[in-house]
A = this chain, B = another copy of it.
Amino acid sequence: MGNEKTEEKTVIGLKFDSQGLIPAIIQDDETGDVLTLFWMNDEAVRKTNETGRVWRYSRQHAQLMQKGDTSGHYLNVRRVLYDCDEDALVVRVQAVGPACHTGERTCFYRELG
C-alpha cells in the first residue's frame, strides 16, 4: 500500500449509513486479493479492533457474528484503513482457510461475461 498516513481516529468518527452499517472490504494482506465485502456496525468495528479478528453484522441473520465462528475460517486482522469520506473500510487480513462460504478462497471467483 505504501503511502498511507496513520492518524488518530476513533471508531465513532466513522460514518455509518441509515441502517448503522459501514461497508468493509476484506483483503488478503499477502496476495492483495479481495476476499469478500462485509457490513459492520459500530460494535463490529470495535470488536474487530479489540480482538484482532474480523467481526461483521449479518444483514441476513440480523446479528453480530465473528467470521469463522461456525466454519473455523477466521480472518486475522493486519491493518484497518478508512477512506477519504470515512464511510468505507479496507481490512487487510491473514485468512485461515477459504473466506467464502462456498469453499472458494475468495467470494469474487466469477468474472462478468
Contact = CB atoms under 8 A, between A and B. Distances in A.
Q: How many copies of this chain sit in the oligomeric assembly?
A: 2
A27 B83 CA distance: 14
A104 B90 contact: no
A62 interface: no
Contacts of A102: 84
The 10 closest A-B pairs by CB, nearest first: A32-B32, A83-B107, A80-B112, A81-B108, A37-B88, A6-B111, A8-B113, A84-B107, A90-B108, A4-B109
A89 B37 CA distance: 9
Given A23-B23, A25-B25, A32-B31, A37 B109 contact: no
Contacts of A70: none
Contact of A34 (B80, B90, B100, B112): B90
A79 interface: yes
